[in-house]
Amino acid sequence: MSFDFIKCTGTEALSRLKNSALNYPSVNKYPFLVGNQDDLATLQENAESDQGGLARIVGQSLNLDLETWFQERRSTAAEYDLMKTNCWASGRMSS
């Protein structure tokens, strides 16, 4: 999988995202915001490639205990205090 990166200021980010989303049908490239270089590095470090295919993913999802999964995520977020350090996770935008 390949990615095209566009560097821009925060003030440009949402308008570029909107324009890219509008162009998605013709260019077949889905836009998303990453953040700064540290956010990109974290994303790349945590990216996993699943070689099992769609059937395996769907099969595993059927056995997922959502309540436990969400509890684990809340515990991890609390442990690392992500709600204060990550404006995307908290819904807050820092200036």
**pTM for the predicted model, two decimal places:** 0.42
DSSP H stretches of helix in the chain: 10-27, 37-46, 54-62, 66-80, 82-85, 87-90
For residue 50, the model assigns a pLDDT of 63
Query: What averages of pLDDT result for each successive group of 10 residues across the chain (95 residues)?
Result: 79 89 88 85 75 81 89 79 54 49
For residue 78, give the DSSP letter.
Answer: H
For residue 32, the model assigns a pLDDT of 83
- The alpha carbon of residue 41 and the mean position of all alpha carbons in its chain are separated, in whole angstroms, by 12
For residue 95, the model assigns a pLDDT of 44
Rounded Cα gap, residues 62 and 37, in angstroms: 36
Written as one letter, the residue type at 80 is Y
